[in-house]
Amino acid sequence: MSATTIQTYFDAFNSGDVDAMLDCLTDDVAHHVNEGQIRTGKAAFAEFCAHMNRC
């Protein structure tokens, strides 16, 4: 992963652009949630982001 990709991801995160965040990730992304559960895949991460945006 390049510094450009990381910067692009954080810029998207800071602007709330989930689609742009997802564009930076691989299809097999593993999201390690604080409670110990691991969500695998872009769809699972997108679902988590949607949930967090509703909170």
Neighbours of 21 (CB within 10 A): 20
pLDDT tens digits along 11-41: 999 999 999 999 999 999 999 988 778 999 9
Q: How high is the pLDDT of residue 55?
A: 85
Residue 5 reports pLDDT greater than 80: yes
Domains and CATH numbers, the chain: 3-54 (3.10.450.50)
Neighbours of 36 (CB within 10 A): 6
**Residue 31, beta-bridge partner list:** 39
Q: How high is the pLDDT of residue 38?
A: 94
Q: How high is the pLDDT of residue 50?
A: 93
pTM of the entire structure?
Answer: 0.82
